[in-house]
Amino acid sequence: MSILSIDDPGKQLLYMGNEAIARGAIESGVRVCAAYPGNPSSEIIASLAKVGKELGIYVEWSVNEKVALEVAAGASFAGIRSLCAMKHNGLNVAVDFLYNLNLTGTGAGMVVVVADDPLALSSSNEQDTRHYARMGDLPLLEPGTFQEGKDMVKTAFEMSEELGIPVMLRSVTRFSHARGNVTLGDIPRGQNKPFFDVTKPRLPKPVEKTHKLLHEKLATAGQKFEDLPFNLYQGPDKPELLILTCGTGWYYTKEALHHLKATDRVGIAKVGTSWPLPAKFITEQLAKSQRVLFVEEIDPFLESNVKTFYAQNAAELGPKEFLGKVTGNVADMGENTPDNVMAAIAGCLDDCVVPARDQEHAAQAAEASKRLATTRALGLCAGCPHRATYWAVKNALALDGRGGFVVGDIGCYAQGRGPSGFQQMKTMHAMGSGAGVANGFGQLTRFGMDQPVLAVCGDSTFFHAAIPALTNARYNGSNLLMLVLDNSATAMTGFQPHPGTGRTAMGDTAPVVDVTKVCQSLGAEVIVLDPFDVQKTTETIYDLLQKQDGIKILVLKQVCAMVRTRMGKRLYKVHVDESKCLGEACGCNKYCSRVFKCPGLTFDKTTGKAGIDEAICNGCGVCASLCPESAIIKEAL
């Protein structure tokens, strides 16, 4: 059962922001949903997939965001409402299609949801999606409440269908992953037969016609925005300070004013329709006060566009003081919090002070925490195959002695850049960039480069973006060793399936697109090993590094520790024979816990012996093969 499919209009439930968005799609009669997993957007499609069969919705994990967007467009062209969701980086991948789609137009309503990650809490970078809407001349909505997360999606579908262009919805982590009260609506049951009208082909040219038409549609959207309840004002008629905000800023500014006791002095104008700007609404709000503070994430999007709007209407609006990111009143990157918004507002008002924490308590607590609360670094899980892989890489590179290195990209294996992965990974960028960058390094032997280069990517990343780079290496003869870390999951984002796992988003069996076979079809040398056999893996990597003949591919195939544990298929039960353990003595010096560093291992300073933490160990058994005294015993389960 899922809270997403409950058919009880008027019932109030606690919904995650992403679930509210998904529910909005359901209540709009969506029938095709596609996405590639990416924090903080993954739950949108994941939760739809859970109820897809029950509600007659097709939901898929696509191999990448461009394909996902294309899937949704195909459905829309055939008169079926569709939804595509992605994280901010995904839009970078999909935008080539999006910027043609805006010109060819859509059929049935199509909503594109993009979830940004301010401060890159789970990303390689941060970026503000709203610029894409402006650049692409597409309408964009930003929910400020959980209810809006649902209601805006319904509005977006209607608007998209009326105008014949995709409509974007922009979320951020603190909305998508937060939970709040949402009231349910109806779940429509009508079905129409898909049909693509071939007399109306979808072509982006001639741009004199199509781009002009797009501008007209955008202007119409702007007019429709004026009637929507998503743009609203709360506060005194003539506030000392007007806050123009959107998205998470709504809750933060409301709470800030409550704590500052400034609700009678400051008014909040919430913009829900972030692009195009609702001109009438903006004009009305600006008239309320001479001083305006912008509160938004990440870039000064609202801030800059309102100022541009103001410049065109300055005579009518009179003098204004604009405060925000550009003026330094609000941080120009990262995420907002109630605390920094409080500080920003107080900084703009006379006689307004942020109520202080109990300073003595705060100081005592900070001191105690600093002294006692040991820092908790991120790392690979106990039993992760990537730890074994990076161990083998470290050893092979040390034996090779030519200063070789690893380049990679995003996923759990990105931990290769930290102590958990023995600091092997030396560059990290976008999906599939490891293979791409390695192509470059691998062409430099002709100029005298003697350092061997390895690239790593995961199995999901392989399908998403690495295949073109590997094809390029084969074709252009770049000398590199590619490690495809096949753990049968898109692990980092929540263990979603992908073409190699034999299962679809909706739980059906799927033909397995075999990673090894795809690699072999390139005509390159391909070897498949179990990374838990670290000795063999080290030797194989070393041998492959000695070759100078183009791309070699080593597929390291071992199931993700978390997936294995969930399946209840742990390999071993592991324990330490203390009588054999050397502990800190010469000959070992805590080789397992100090050097291999798996969190399933412990070292007891009083007894001087290693141990296994049964609450953490996932039973991979690699430590047992590394112990120089054979003091770690693994029993097959």
Partner 1 sequence: MATFNKTGGQQQLKAAMQQSELCTNCGACVDLCPYNVAFNDRIVFLDPCDRDEGRCYAFCPRTPTDLSALYDGLFDAADLTPELGAVKGLYVTRAADPAIRDKAQHGGTVSALMALALKEGMIDSAVLAEDSGELEPRGTVVADADQVASHAGSKFVVSPTVAAFNRLAKGEAQAIGVVATPCQAMALAKMRLKPYAADASHIDKLKLVVGLFCGWALSLQKLAGILEPHLKGSEILKLDIPPSGHACMEVTTEQGMITIPLEEINPAIRPACSGCLDMTAEFADLSVGSARLDGGWEESQGWNQVLVRTEAGQKLMDLAKDAGALEFREAPAGAMDKLKQASMNKKRRALEHLAAQSGSEDDLIYLDPSDPLVIKLKQSWAAQ
Partner 2 sequence: MNAVANDPFNVIITGVGGQGNVLASQIIGQVLVQAGKFVTIGETYGVTQRGGSVMSHLRISDLDQWSPLIPEGHAHLIVGLEPIETLRVMAGYGNPDTLVLTNLRPIMPLDVIAGTATYPEVSEVLAELQRLSQKVWTLNATEIALDMGDPIFSNMIMIGAIAGLGLPSVDIDPAVFGSVLEVVLSRGKAATNLEAFEKGRNAVEELHQ
Residue 179 interacting with partner 2 (CB under 8 A)? yes
599: CB partners within 8 A, 6+ apart: 379, 381, 382, 613, 616
Q: For residue 190, what are its two tokens?
A: 């009508």
Q: How far is the CB of 631 from partner 1 (least distance, A)?
A: 13
Q: For residue 464, what are its two tokens?
A: 């998403």
Instruction: Name residues contacting partner 2, limited to 408-427 (CB under 8 A).
Output: 412, 415, 419-420
Residue 494 interacting with partner 1 (CB under 8 A)? no
Cα-Cα-Cα-Cα dihedral of 109, 145, 272, 29, to 10°?
Answer: 10
DSSP 8-state symbol, 414: G
Is 214:165 a contact under the CB 8 Å cutoff? Answer: yes
Instruction: Name residues contacting partner 2, limited to 321-340 (CB under 8 A).
Output: 337-339
Is 228:272 a contact under the CB 8 Å cutoff? Answer: yes
Among 240, 255, 400, 578, the residue binding partner 2 under the rule CB under 8 A is 255
Residue 588 interacting with partner 1 (CB under 8 A)? yes
Residue 252 interacting with partner 2 (CB under 8 A)? yes
Residue 628 interacting with partner 1 (CB under 8 A)? yes
Residue 536 interacting with partner 1 (CB under 8 A)? no
Residue 595 interacting with partner 1 (CB under 8 A)? yes
DSSP 8-state symbol, 118: G
Among 198, 229, 369, 579, the residue binding partner 2 under the rule CB under 8 A is 369
Question: Among all chains, which residue has been given the structure tokens 């909505």?
Answer: 141
Residue 636 interacting with partner 2 (CB under 8 A)? no
Residue 121 interacting with partner 2 (CB under 8 A)? yes
Q: Which is nearer to partner 1, 567 or 595 (CB)?
A: 595
Residue 56 interacting with partner 1 (CB under 8 A)? no
Instruction: Name residues contacting partner 2, limited to 131-170 (CB under 8 A).
Output: 145-146
Residue 54 interacting with partner 2 (CB under 8 A)? no
Q: For residue 376, what are its two tokens?
A: 């908790």
Q: Which is nearer to partner 2, 496 or 593 (CB)?
A: 593
Residue 586 interacting with partner 2 (CB under 8 A)? no
Between CA 77 and CA 62 the distance in angstroms is 18
Between CA 295 and CA 276 the distance in angstroms is 18
The contact pattern for partner 1, residues 598-627, with x = CB under 8 A and - = no contact, is ----------------------------x-
Between CA 34 and CA 15 the distance in angstroms is 21
Kind and range of the H or E element at 548?
A: none
Number of Cβ within a 10 Å radius of residue 257:
23
Q: Which is nearer to partner 2, 57 or 617 (CB)?
A: 617
Packed helices 467-476 and 433-441: angle between N→C axes, nearest 10 degrees: 20
Q: Which stretch binds partner 1 (CB under 8 A): 151-159, 169-177, 288-296, 583-591?
A: 583-591
Q: Which stretch binds partner 1 (CB under 8 A): 2-10, 133-141, 162-170, 580-588?
A: 580-588
Query: Length of the chain, please?
Result: 637
From the list 64, 56, 3, 4, the residue with the least C-alpha distance to 31 is 56
Instruction: Name residues contacting partner 1, limited to 372-431 (CB under 8 A).
Output: 394-395, 398-399, 401
Is 293:262 a contact under the CB 8 Å cutoff? Answer: no
Residues forming the site for partner 1 (CB under 8 A):
394-395, 398-399, 401, 584-589, 591, 594-595, 626, 628
